[in-house]
Structure 1
């Protein structure tokens, strides 16, 4: 019931924002429509009055919102303010394209996640040491979708001629966009599964099954099924995010999907089309979240949902020599590059040195305006990393609070996750105006849902743990159990997950800056540098290589920090102390 109420409230809030969008910005909607239809026409009082009467804007926001909502409930999303066509057919056509692209990208992501976690599952089932696949997953997760799309376009389409470069006329047009979306998503999912499996193999039932002579295949399949409920909400959130978060990929390959339709409507101030696109995105998110919740409940079963689900104890993974080397290199190299580039001038334009290759004068080369790439990378670190860390920390704090209300977390996370960062940036910019603060707020609003869903799943499992039930039976208070056992067991995995989201948050902020909704040019910002260098990727790849390498090193460093576990956590020790004291059966 709580989840249903939270879904309803979240949907109502988003619908209210969408419906009142023409007035939330404080600007005259009639002026936006007039400028979109004819930029040369003088905005006289007569012309603006004619637009208001045509669109019914003179009735006021409340009356127009009620009329829009009533028409939407009847399946009528109105007509485009710019083109004059029906909004519903255009939105449905774009939704079909986005759903097809989402399905293909999800297949790629799931296949990649299985490949990344296969070694860990096999070795864990055999009782041998686990393999480290976090680095490969981090590199894939840190690759910007639009950069992957551009590289695939240049290599597989322009150079090799295997696939068409753009358009949407047949299945062959689906391959490159699906790869561009599925590779980073598969890296995230593979890392989450790879992090959840070792804890499962430490459970007592695995030892019992091995003593019975069960084969590694049987144990591996059972362990995978045991680990999936905790990470299954992430699969749903990623799947829904692929539907609306592929704006950049749809733009690169000219795919007429829902995200590209919404972005085009926002740029042309076509508010009915933007309202319909965002509304469909939210509905897709709610439906996808409900389906994932149903599958998760089906996998758990009634007995596990009741009380028998034991939370997996945290795993102690001592940091080895190679782990320390990777952490040192991935941290030291960006620090050296930043210190090396800070003395340079990031805004100095030299037309005679446009797209110069790396040299002694310009170790990382120059961009299309002749600006030194090393200086821009060094100066862009402060703006990129500071805002990214702050947004990540705020998202982590919100996720922990919301995660302890699982019903609220499900509905709110599904609603917020259904709005991609670009669309959230457009909505925030329409209300508060463009700028870095609005971009940070927009990304923060859509960054916490995956973390909250992860926290909610862990809270459910830890509250159902045997040692927690035993402590309650012995008279332990709810606050003591919460602070000493449940919270430490949840905070660690969610914190590692939040660290893994750092590169994605940085890229989302950069995308909004490139669209004019965040940090504007010519500021030296890593993602903005990437976007500016994409048209020259084939001729001058070094301009895009430097910020990409920094983002990849940031991801590797984040993974290394998230897996630097030298001692067992407090929650894990609590369960084993309970076993030794006879509170729960060993």
Structure 2
């Protein structure tokens, strides 16, 4: 008489257990408790909290931009061209008389759009390629990883510049160019996670029960890779911001007169000595937001991926 095999699946720490454990009664309460425990651990990183506050301010600023300024970010007024900071114009005006503060907060919308769209594109692609490569191995692993190595062999900004130049200037093409260069690190990470996971006993038990490869990957391996990928994506956001700013600076991102921090910095470099506020404002915004995402990513590494600190 055949004895059905029941997988013995250890409950991993932190979010891993929440993702994989069977759903008991009161799942919502258990999930909220897990979230609260994660928040308590996140609070142990003061710099991470500071980064989170900056990101929340960025989101609120982007959402409430029309309420925070009375000025149109693209309306020109040459009569007040290159006016220094004042009560009427907190951060001064640029070479076309446009309010720099208004352009900064509307530029936050552009930055968030790029971050969100690139993340939506690269996270699934990197996860799928990495897990399939690590799970199937052999020729599949060789082909996928060699393609990944080709992308990784070039600096991200240089590769993004090449794609953006081929596709043409514009915010949509910039997002595509950044996405084409941002997925390889995620794929590498997902592959490394999958190589260790596929050797676990509960994966072997699931296979013996007749689960297909697609089911094993989607239901058992992908959820285990999610915490590490979340950390990696959060850290990648700083690079996405810098790459987008670099493309905008070189005229391959958002096109004038739409406000975008990199393009604003490119315009301000011509007036760096006489009107430093024109370039200082977008430069500081890029640096602060990039640092905030790095700080949050470092804190999330300890919360979602405890092995990362070992």
TM-score (norm 2): 0.67
Residue 193 of structure 2 corresponds to residue 469 of structure 1? no
Residue 176 of structure 2 corresponds to residue 441 of structure 1? yes
Q: 1:462 and 1:565 mapped to 2: Cα distance?
A: 19
Matched length: 254
Paired residue for 1:517?
252
Give the secondary structure class of the aligned counterpart of 1:501: helix
Closer, same or farther: CA 538–490 of 1 in aligned 2, 3 Å: farther
Paired residue for 2:191?
456
Q: 1:422 and 1:479 mapped to 2: Cα distance?
A: 35
Closer, same or farther: CA 525–402 of 1 in aligned 2, 3 Å: same
Shift of 1:363: 0.8
Q: Which of 92, 116, 120 lines up with 1:389 in the alignment?
A: 116
Q: Deviations over 1:436-458 (max 9, x none)?
A: 32222222111111221222222
Closer, same or farther: CA 352–336 of 1 in aligned 2, 3 Å: farther
Paired residue for 1:334?
58
Paired residue for 2:279?
544
Closer, same or farther: CA 568–421 of 1 in aligned 2, 3 Å: closer
Shift of 1:472: 1.4
Q: 1:319 and 1:390 mapped to 2: Cα distance?
A: 26
Q: 1:366 and 1:410 mapped to 2: Cα distance?
A: 49
Give the secondary structure class of the aligned counterpart of 1:318: helix
Closer, same or farther: CA 567–527 of 1 in aligned 2, 3 Å: closer
Paired residue for 1:224?
none
Give the unaligned 5+ runs of structure 2: 1-12, 14-36, 135-140
Paired residue for 1:533?
268
Paired residue for 2:76?
349
Report the aligned-residue RMSD.
Answer: 3.5
Shift of 1:361: 0.9
Once the two structures are superposed, the pairs formed by residues 66-145 of structure 1 within 5 Å of their partners are: none
Shift of 1:401: 0.8
Q: Deviations over 1:196-223 (max 9, x none)?
A: xxx9xxxxxxxxxxxxxxxxxxxxxxxx
Shift of 1:341: 4.6
Q: Deviations over 1:293-317 (max 9, x none)?
A: xxxxxxxxxxxxxxxxxxxxxx967
Closer, same or farther: CA 341–366 of 1 in aligned 2, 3 Å: farther
Paired residue for 1:276?
none
Q: Deviations over 1:224-255 (max 9, x none)?
A: xxxxxxxxxxxxxxxxxxxxxxxxxxxxxxxx
Shift of 1:342: 4.8
Q: Deviations over 1:178-199 (max 9, x none)?
A: xxxxxxxxxxxxxxxxxxxxx9
Shift of 1:354: 3.7
Q: 2:296 and 2:126 mapped to 1: Cα distance?
A: 20
Residue 241 of structure 2 corresponds to residue 506 of structure 1? yes
Shift of 1:498: 1.1
Asked whether the 8 Å contact 1:409–1:452 carries over to 2, the reply is no
Q: 2:88 and 2:68 mapped to 1: Cα distance?
A: 12
Residue 119 of structure 2 corresponds to residue 417 of structure 1? no
Closer, same or farther: CA 479–330 of 1 in aligned 2, 3 Å: same
Paired residue for 1:320?
43
Once the two structures are superposed, the pairs formed by residues 107-186 of structure 1 within 5 Å of their partners are: none
Asked whether the 8 Å contact 2:129–2:144 carries over to 1, the reply is yes
Paired residue for 1:308?
none
Closer, same or farther: CA 540–512 of 1 in aligned 2, 3 Å: same
Asked whether the 8 Å contact 1:428–1:438 carries over to 2, the reply is yes
Paired residue for 1:554?
289
Closer, same or farther: CA 550–409 of 1 in aligned 2, 3 Å: farther
Asked whether the 8 Å contact 2:242–2:290 carries over to 1, the reply is no
TM-score (norm 1): 0.38
Paired residue for 1:487?
222
Asked whether the 8 Å contact 1:409–1:456 carries over to 2, the reply is no
Q: 1:471 and 1:520 mapped to 2: Cα distance?
A: 50
Shift of 1:515: 3.0
Q: 1:401 and 1:336 mapped to 2: Cα distance?
A: 33
Q: Which has the larger radius of gyration?
A: 1
Q: 2:48 and 2:238 mapped to 1: Cα distance?
A: 21
Paired residue for 1:103?
none
Once the two structures are superposed, the pairs formed by residues 137-286 of structure 1 within 5 Å of their partners are: none
Residue 104 of structure 2 corresponds to residue 380 of structure 1? no
Q: 1:522 and 1:381 mapped to 2: Cα distance?
A: 15
Asked whether the 8 Å contact 2:91–2:281 carries over to 1, the reply is yes
Shift of 1:558: 3.1
Q: 1:566 and 1:504 mapped to 2: Cα distance?
A: 20
Closer, same or farther: CA 492–336 of 1 in aligned 2, 3 Å: closer
Q: 1:560 and 1:544 mapped to 2: Cα distance?
A: 24
Closer, same or farther: CA 341–531 of 1 in aligned 2, 3 Å: farther
Shift of 1:358: 2.1
